[in-house]
């Protein structure tokens, strides 16, 4: 990367940090800082995650976003997006967060995998079978994200910015790990989302690229394409089975994932 490009990447990352720290409503990145392609967008994400790690902890895992053609079309991208999870933002449920700590909190309802072995860059591209052999536990999860009040009508022109902004991730709430997941048909797992006891959405494991481990294989292969890999202990959230919800203060969120159990979040 040329020196002027590297400087722009760092300035873009610092700009994103300021937007989040000051909870500035979502707006397009300045033209001088906006990434020109997906590789530059991920370079900005790398720099942003590095800066964010000072407050939020080291990288503890990964996420996949835009697992359906419809979602990718909405942001004008041809492929899913990857993002990172920070150690201090990944907690076990039941958990509690404050609505005022976000520009606009959104929650997604996912199946998470915890790695029991490394998947290094040298082994890519990875198949579902290869990633399954490296998984130690599976669990329900709630992804916490912050869209800072984004105008979704304009996102088709801002997909690269979404990649740079770590796909909006602000953490995850994990249910109890299930080590006996091999006895469960993960594609058939029925997920049900509740807000204050009322059902607000349903989905199945197959809704994430046909199988949660198809999404996991995509993450592993994506990381490998950038010279990185999954590590033992990493948490990977594999995409939402239910459309995003926007909870408010005093809402209680619950996600039931069949034999995998459930996970809860209280918004205060």
Q: Please count the other Cβ atoms lying within 10 Å of the Cβ belonging to residue 51.
A: 15
With CA atoms as reference, report the closest residue to 141 among 104, 193, 83.
Answer: 193
pLDDT tens per residue, range 150-176: 999 888 889 999 999 999 999 999 999
Looking at per-residue confidence, does 75 or 204 come out higher?
204
Task: Give the DSSP H/E element, type plus range, for residue 143.
Answer: strand 135-146
Residue 5 pLDDT exceeds 80: no
The arithmetic mean of pLDDT across residues 57-63, rounded, is 98
Looking at per-residue confidence, does 153 or 267 come out higher?
267
User: What is the dihedral angle through the alpha carbons of 187, 86, 77, 155, rounded to the nearest 10 degrees?
Assistant: 110
Strand partners, 71: none
CATH topology of domain 58-267: Fumarylacetoacetate hydrolase; domain 2 (3.90.850)
Predicted confidence band of residue 122 (pLDDT cuts 50, 70, 90): very high
The pair phi, psi for residue 191, each rounded to 5°, is: -105, 135
Question: Within the chain, what is the greatest distance between any pair of CA atoms?
Answer: 54
In sign, the C-alpha dihedral spanning 24, 108, 91, 84 is negative
Provide the pLDDT for residue 112. 98
**Mean pLDDT for all residues in the chain:** 95
Cα 111 to the center of its chain, rounded Å: 11
What is the Cα–Cα distance from 34 to 77, expressed in whole angstroms? 15
The arithmetic mean of pLDDT across residues 196-208, rounded, is 97
Provide the pLDDT for residue 148. 95
Token pair of 91, please? Answer: 């907690």
Share above pLDDT 90 across residues of the chain, in percent, rounded to a whole number: 90
């Amino acid at each position: 990367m040329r020196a002027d490009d590297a400087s722009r990447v760092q300035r873009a990352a610092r700009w994103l940090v300021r937007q989040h720290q000051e909870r500035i409503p979502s707006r397009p990145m300045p033209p001088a800082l906006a990434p020109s392609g997906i590789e530059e967008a991920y370079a900005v994400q790398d720099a942003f995650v590095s800066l964010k790690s000072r407050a939020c902890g080291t990288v503890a895992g990964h996420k996949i976003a835009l697992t359906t053609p419809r979602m990718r079309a909405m942001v004008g991208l041809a492929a899913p997006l990857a993002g990172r999870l920070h150690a201090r933002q990944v907690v076990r449920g039941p958990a509690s967060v404050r609505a005022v700590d976000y520009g606009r909190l959104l929650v997604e309802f996912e199946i998470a995998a915890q790695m029991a072995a490394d998947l290094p860059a040298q082994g890519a591209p990875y198949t579902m079978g290869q990633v399954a052999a490296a998984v130690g536990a599976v669990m329900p999860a709630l992804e916490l994200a912050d869209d800072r009040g984004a105008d979704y009508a304009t996102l088709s022109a801002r997909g690269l910015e979404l990649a740079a902004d770590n796909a909006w991730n602000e953490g995850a709430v994990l249910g109890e790990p299930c080590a006996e997941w091999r006895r469960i048909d993960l594609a058939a797992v029925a997920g049900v989302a509740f807000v204050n006891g009322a059902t607000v959405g349903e989905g199945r494991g197959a809704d994430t690229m046909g199988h949660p481990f198809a999404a996991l294989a995509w993450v592993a292969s994506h990381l490998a394409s950038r010279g990185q890999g999954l590590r033992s202990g990493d948490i990977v959230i594999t995409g939402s089975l239910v459309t995003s919800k926007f909870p408010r203060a005093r809402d209680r969120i619950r996600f039931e994932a069949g034999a995998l159990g459930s996970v809860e979040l209280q918004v205060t």
